[in-house]
Structure 1
Amino acid sequence: MSSYDRWLLRTENTTYAVRIAGEGRWAELASWGPHGTETGPSPFAVPHRTHFVTPADAAPAEYLPHGLRPFSGADLVVRRPGRERGTWWTFDSATQDGDRALRLTFADEEQGLRAALCYETVPGTDVILRWTELSCTGEEELRLERLDSAAVSIPVTDGARLTYLTGQWSQEFRRTQLELTRGRFEMASTQGVPGHAYAPWLAVQDAAEPAEGATPTYGVALEWSGNWHMAADAEPGGAVRIRAGRVPHEGAVRLAPGATLTTPRLACAFSPDGLDGLARVWHRYERRLSGERLERTRKVLYNSWEATGFDVDAAAQLELARTAADMGAELFVVDDGWFTGRHDETGGLGDWFPDPANFPDGFDHFIDEVRATGMDFGLWVEPEAVSPASRLYAEHPEWVYRIDGRPATLVREQLLLDLGRRDVQDFVVATLDRLLGDHAISYLKWDMNRPPTERGRPGGGPVEEQDLDAAHVAGYLRVLDHLRARHPHVTVEGCAGGGGRIEHATLARTDVVWPSDNTAPLDRLAIQYGYLHAHAPHTMSSWVTDSPGVFDPRPRSLAFRFVTAMAGVLGIGADIRHWSAGQRAEAARWVSRYKEIRDVVHRGEVRLLGSPADATCGVQYDEQDGARTVVTAWNTGRLDGAPLVPGRAARLRLRGLDPAARYTDERTGTVHGGAHLLHYGLPFAWTAQYDAELVVLVRQ
């Protein structure tokens, strides 16, 4: 096969071209962009002669092992026990299914390794999924010290602009940028979940181009619920090469003769329309992940946590439920504190039975009373956690992660179950089956509030034979898959101390996720702004609460809080018993308005209008057929203009509208030309009391 032979993969709007190079030793990217970019010379062309690096080190390689790529960063590092570290494979075969799927196989017969580079397009999107299958074909086991999923090369002229999502607990999904001209940028998590510090998501642009507008923008996202890493190398040849994969807890994974390991999938996306356009590509992909469950109405919920904490009492809960129902809530969720032994953080986890003292007339009677208000009923659980004082821990101390002879660290006064064990998985499955089968529960909030610390499994065989992180992920996904199959009517919310475990494997198996425990208005607006760059609004649960700002304490109106929460899946978490009659009436109006437009918010095309750093920002949602456009807008900064001093209203320029069409504002009946909204924008005359708005524009 010559170096000019190549394969094309086509998505809805893009083409990805791969060819074999290096005298059959590797696959490399020839082009990736809009249809037609595959015609012409490769933007990755490098001189045939290289100095102090090998040709493979300079190549835009799709996946290369240490051995062939010794200097610039290998994607795979394999060692045979007692032997050299290094793989020197050659191309073996190719299998292509039209322009939708591709499989390229390489083999190192001496080492006993076969690797298949796998590609698959996602219909109706501009996403290509990539992963690698590694097989031990020899008689000796192999030790995989690095096992990335894939590598992606991005053409840039003079450095790259990287956009990524950073934070900490209560400050997740902060959009962060840096320019990388030379060197390496890397982010990772070894907390057993993707974590709060970084999301496994990255966008890459040419630093010479603007971030928004008609700027080619590339993105990757790793589908993995455990330890991970993602690295970007600005290489000497000018391109930026991204590689990503999981990180084994034990440092290496053993691959036995005849065994095959499949890496997590890396989703690769492209948009010619900047970061905003890339966000829409990810949203379409996540709507596809939701499948037919996207059509399920995501109900307005009330959650009792911020009102009552651990003090769960049937009478107080019913008072909250009746008040919430009067405001239009459709679902009532009892959070932590409902089960035996759970009076504070120190007890109860693992003993998942309703506390009779909390529900003196019986748990089912309590649920019936809630459902009599017209609302569905939901429950909070933390299936991976166990309290040292619980009955479960007394019966099964071997079920927790631990290292013999070492002290156990308590995080939030709890330990973590080893969900990689089949018996632990069976216990969690049986527990959830019992709760959902015995009681009329239609919503389950799955929380996880501590990372694994002393991560060992005594009695589970030699440490070097264990792969605890992968086993835990497999157990977690097995339970979620069981919930989907056995209890399809139950809506599942994913949470890990807020946004600690949000990635595509979780999003494919849950209906909504909880981006952060921080519900303060301005703080939350910044979190949601970053979240919507990577994830779709129909997955984003958001509450209206009474919480003051953690990082920005400026007071905001009830309208501001509602419009913020209505930008995704609306919930209420305030202690509404203390709201005035006026506040409850206003809340009921907002809930009613939300129900009228939530289908547009959850299924429409999203455009981010400015950022929370601007005095006025918003999010635009366009109905698929263009009949309605919904705009959520906020004033985040100083007031500027009428009525304080003579001046003009603030304006948000909309995007993507038909300039020749006319749009009627449902609030005022004002008719705007499409060109007017695109050029001048939608006006907002902010005041100290009027700091947020929901606008619905109907196309005439």
Structure 2
Amino acid sequence: MAIHINNEQLLFHLQGKNTSYVMQVVRDGYLAHLYWGKRVHTYRGSNKIIYMDRGFSPNPDASDRTFSLDTLPQEYPAYGNGDFRIPAYQIQLNNGSTITDLRYKEYKMYKGKPKLEGLPSTYVEDENEAETLELIMEDKLLGLIVTLTYSLYPELDVITRSVHFKNEGSQNLKMLRALSASIDFRDDEYELITLYGAHNNEKNMERRRIVPGVQLVDSCRGASSPQQAPFLSLVRKGTDEDQGEVYAFNLVYSGNFTAQVQVDPYRNTRVSIGMNPFDFSWLLEPGETFQTPEVVMAYTANGLGDMSRIFHELYSKRLCRGTFRDKLRPILINNWEATYFDFNAEKIEEIAVEAKKAGIELLVLDDGWFGKRDDDNSSLGDWVVDQRKLPNGLLDLANRICELGLEFGLWFEPEMISMDSDLYRKHPDWCLHVENRPHTLGRNQLVLDLSREEVCQYVIESVSDVLASAPITYVKWDMNRHMTDIGSAALPPERQRETAHRYMLGLYKVMEEITSRFPNILFESCSSGGGRFDPGMLHYMPQTWTSDNTDAMCRLKIQYGTSLVYPPITMGAHVSTVPNHQVGRVTPLETRGHVAMAGNFGYELDLTTLTAQEKEEIKNQVALYKEIRPIIQFGKFHRILSPFEGNEAAWNFVSDDQSEVVASYFKVLSQPGASLRTLKFKGLNPDYIYKNVETGELFGGDELMNAGITLPRIKQDFLSMFWRFTKHHN
């Protein structure tokens, strides 16, 4: 067993391959956090808690002024009974008070990992892959039962946490805060890494020293958002890609979240993460339950690169699901930047003809095929074919594409409704809104109220009807605005602040139903690009459009930052035209190709307008990606040079058996008097001899990693270099 329990001391030791996580029940049933870090064989309490009297830290026991919840390192702290730090949960009673007092009741331990009702989560395929500990806490006065669930993946050094509330009392309880995890560290010698951004500028890495007070990232937009990701990590000073301690937290949820670090006056650090309590409450009537989303927690002493590979392994194998989880993903052409809304069946078929010549495998018809959709002002919710553009219907076009030898994909935005739509005219109350308040528009559209069962069923059936009507093998599921006017016509006043979370539960139900009905369709989530790139989405759709920004130089940072948590196989990455539509930059087609090949490869341009030379280069890119695709999508990813730290970026991929290597180097701007660069690869087998596929040169794996390759001096902006190595057999 990987979970060890000392029943006499009520000490719980979760022991992974390289990590230990230790808790203990202390003083009258309080649950204390003792240790998380490098694996210890047997925990005997060498780092015992020192109790002492601290001014203004009150005491639950008047006879002992040294014991205070304000200074105790805890696992799931409450509000109002002595701890002035940020609580993990807060509940309002009928009398208006918000004081609760959870004490330890019992534990359960078992092999495997439970599913979370109505929520996405990581999973196991064999019960021996994980072990689970449930610590059951109780407030006897209220009849409140709170179950803290810890699941350990021992081989990955991953612990997942979630919390289940049950009202076994006789009065209504109103939950005001219900975070998924809280953990207290006994020092503050950390730096904080988060991912921030905006539309077209997602997943920027921010690293800063933590200081006394609260450092917080969150979203109250109704989505995980491009502005801040539901992720944070604490790292020791000097930690880099290859060495140093990392404590990482990622919330498996696609809605409002908070992730925060609080340093108290005594230099203790509290990390807490979960659903955002802002504008949230949940009425828990007698007999009812509430489940929080899951948090994935990873520890490593081997730097950020190792942290990323832990997440990549877990997410690609035990978060993503379905037919395509372990399948090679197709190379696609999307017509969006080629035509926008201005297309017809003949134009799409012309693009498909050129795509087939290039070896592309899938054509995706983007926005504009339905209703009367000539711009973004109308028709969302009316999932019927626009016969002005497709006079013979969707089936005819899809069959023509398939007859060319390509697969056919389609764009939807199922969560939205246009005011100029038949659906809105029939059901104006189906959008999120507050009675007598004017609508706030975003991109000229409103958000459907997925907290309502009838709305969810409409989305399920209307999308399913289209998917069943033609040979569709790919869906791009978009979401292009955040929530405003958050209210539901179907909820009573006391439940209005449940709307945003009920929306997410509805969305997950919709996605579960549709993806289950159509297991042979590859679903890619999107939110104006990477606005909802989170683990919750990946549970239903195994890849995400990384950003609407397709400029290769911008994508260096976007894809590099995204890779901190998410594997390359989950990242949609396309080559687009120049000047780039987002930033106007002109970059070489070779560079655009090399950047996009670091993810799920495709194109977003009009192939019919390219020169013969460009078409030939694209044909060669497609052929190359087909050869390296297994390594990119299923190999191990190593970051070498960070575009956030200079003028260059580099990374390499290594196959699981270390027999094949793909590496890329990029330089943004050419510099005068530039130094010569030696690029050192990572993750190779030091005992293998590797052959350069292009030149035939032979080098040892140890040489490529330690001595490196000297890069030629090339005077060119937006430069890329690319290598393939294979194991040499004598």
| Equivalent position to 2:259, from 230, 233, 250 | 230
The runs of 5 or more residues in structure 2 that have no matched partner are 1-5, 59-67, 112-129
Distance 1:3 1:30 in 2: 17
Q: How does 1:250-265 map to 2 (within 5 A)?
A: 250-265=279-294
Aligned to 1:571: 602
Within the candidate set 714, 717, 720, 1:687 is matched to: 714
Match of 1:422 among 453, 463, 484: 453
Distance, in Å, in 2 between the alignment partners of 1:614 and 1:624 is: 30
Alignment of 1:160-559 (within 5 A): 160-207=190-237, 209-247=238-276, 250-288=279-317, 289-291=319-321, 293-464=324-495, 467-548=498-579, 555-559=586-590
Q: Distance in 1 between matches of 2:409 and 2:683?
A: 39
Distance 2:387 2:581 in 1: 36
Aligned to 1:637: 669
> How far did residue 554 of structure 1 move?
5.2
Q: CA deviation at 1:13?
A: 3.0
Do 2:647 and 2:667's aligned partners in 1 also have CA atoms closer than 8 Å? yes
Q: Which amino acid aligns with 2:93?
A: R
**Given the superposition, is the C-alpha separation of residues 459 and 492 from structure 1 closer, same or farther in structure 2, using an over 3 Å criterion?**
closer
**CA–CA separation in structure 2 for the residues paired with 1:198 and 1:596:** 36
Q: Do 1:92 and 1:107's aligned partners in 2 also have CA atoms closer than 8 Å?
A: yes
What SS does the corresponding residue of 2:325 show, helix, strand or coil? helix
Output one character per residue of 1:277-325: Cα deviation in whole Å (capped at 9) or x when no partner. Answer: 1111110111121246322121001000001001121111111111112
2:97 equivalent to 1:84: yes
**In 2, Cα distance between equivalents of 1:38 and 1:530:** 37
1:660 matched to 2:687? The reply is yes
Deviation at 1:686, TM superposition (A): 4.9
Question: Which has the higher mean CA deviation after the structures are superposed, 9-18 or 223-232?
Answer: 9-18
Residue 597 of structure 1 corresponds to which residue in structure 2? 628
Separation in 1, partners of 2:549, 2:414: 22
How far, CA to CA, are the matches of 1:682 and 1:591 in structure 2?
26
> 1:624 aligns to what?
656
The equivalent of 2:117 in structure 1 is: none
Task: Tell me, in whole angstroms, the C-alpha distance in 2 between the residues paired with 1:38 and 1:145.
Answer: 39
Deviates more, 1:335-344 or 1:51-60: 51-60
Structure 1 residue 555: Cα displacement = 3.3
- Give the distance between the partners of 1:640 and 1:658, measured in 2 at CA: 36
Contact 1:301 1:331 in 2 (8 A): yes
Equivalent position SS for 1:57: coil
SS in 2 for 1:500: coil
Decide whether the 8 Å contact of 1:522 with 1:549 is kept in 2.
Answer: no
The 8 Å contact of residues 378 and 420 in structure 2, kept in 1 or not, is answered as yes
How many residues of Structure 1 are paired with residues of Structure 2 in the alignment?
Answer: 692
Change (3 A) 1:610 1:96: same
Q: Is residue 81–residue 142 contact of structure 1 (8 Å, CA) maintained in 2? A: yes
Separation in structure 2 between the aligned mates of residue 698 and residue 421 of structure 1, nearest angstrom: 55
For 2:414 and 2:532, locate their aligned partners in 1 and report how far apart those are by CA, in whole Å.
Answer: 14
- Is it true that 1:130 corresponds to 2:161 in the alignment? yes
Cα drift, residue 549 of structure 1: 5.8
Is the partner of 1:101 in helix, strand or coil? strand
- For residues 374 and 153 of structure 2, the distance between their equivalents in structure 1, rounded to whole angstroms, comes to 47
TM-fit CA distance, 1:24: 1.5
TM-score, structure 2 as length reference: 0.91
CA distance in 1, matches of 2:583, 2:183: 38
* TM-score using structure 1 length: 0.95
CA distance in 2 between partners of 1:527 and 1:261 (Å): 36
1:586 aligns with 2:622: no
2:40 pairs with 1:36 = yes
Q: 1:437 & 1:223 partners in 2: Cα distance?
A: 30
CA contact (8 A) 2:636 2:655 kept: yes
Separation in 2, partners of 1:217, 1:258: 40
Conservation of the 8 A alpha-carbon contact between 2:280 and 2:498 = no
Note if contact 1:3-1:22 (Cα within 8 Å) is conserved in structure 2. no
CA displacement at 1:162 relative to structure 2: 0.5
Residue 145 and residue 153 in structure 1: after superposition, are their counterparts in 2 closer, same or farther (change >3 A)?
A: same
Q: CA deviation at 1:45?
A: 3.4
259 and 695 in structure 1: CA distance in 2 versus 1, 3 angstrom threshold? same
Name the amino acid aligned to 1:187: V
Cα offset, 1:414, TM superposition: 1.0
Q: Choose the corresponding residue for 1:6, options 5, 11, 14.
A: 11
- Aligned equivalent of 1:93: 106
In structure 2, the CA distance between the partners of 1:551 and 1:196, relative to structure 1 (3 Å rule), is same
Equivalent-residue separation in structure 2 for 1:686 and 1:355 (angstroms): 54
Are 1:18 and 2:23 an aligned pair? yes
Q: Is the deviation greater in 605-614 or in 277-286?
A: 605-614
What secondary structure does 1:173 align onto?
strand
CA deviation map 1:107-152 (0-9, x unaligned): 1111231111111123642221101111112110111111111112
Corresponding position of 2:122: none
Q: Is the 8 A contact 1:46 1:58 kept in 2?
A: no
Residues 513-569 of structure 1: CA distance to partner in whole angstroms, max 9, x if unpaired? 012111111111111110000111000001100254689765321111111110010
For residues 708 and 216 of structure 2, what CA distance do their matches in structure 1 show?
Answer: 39
* Offset of residue 10 of structure 1: 3.0
From 51, 54, 74, the equivalent of 2:87 is 74
CA 305–144 in structure 1, closer or farther in 2 if over 3 Å, else same: same
Among 34, 49, 61, the alignment partner of 2:74 is 61
2-side partners of 1:412 and 1:638: how far apart? 39
1:493 aligns to what SS in structure 2?
strand
User: In structure 1, the residue corresponding to 2:320 is in which secondary structure?
Assistant: helix
Aligned-pair Cα RMSD in Å: 2.1
For 1:686 and 1:53, the matched residues in 2 are separated by: 63
AA at the equivalent of 1:112: G
Q: What CA distance in whole angstroms lies between the structure 1 residues aligned with 2:636 and 2:567?
A: 10
Kindly indicate whether the alpha-carbon contact (under 8 Å) linking 2:639 and 2:652 is maintained by their aligned counterparts in 1.
Answer: yes
1:468 partner SS: helix
Q: Secondary structure at the match of 2:192?
A: strand
Paired amino acid for 2:245: P
Look up the SS of the partner of 1:230 in the other structure: strand
Q: C-alpha distance in 2, partners of 1:42/1:235?
A: 23
**SS of residue matched to 1:311:** coil
Deviation of 1:327 (Å) = 1.2
Instruction: Give the equivalent residue in structure 1 for 2:120.
Output: none
CA shift in 2, pair 1:37/1:155, >3 Å: farther
Query: What secondary structure sits across from 2:468 in the alignment?
Result: helix
Structure 1, gaps ≥5 residues long: none
1:676 is aligned to 2:703:
yes
CA gap 1:333/1:554 in 2 versus in 1, 3 angstroms: closer
Percentage identity across paired residues of the two chains: 29
Asked if the contact 2:551/2:585 (under 8 Å) is kept, the reply is no
2:121 aligned residue: none
What per-residue deviation string (whole Å, max 9, x for no partner) do you get for residues 664-700 of structure 1? 1111111112222122213332524582133111123
Alignment CA distance shift 1:550-1:49 (3 Å): farther
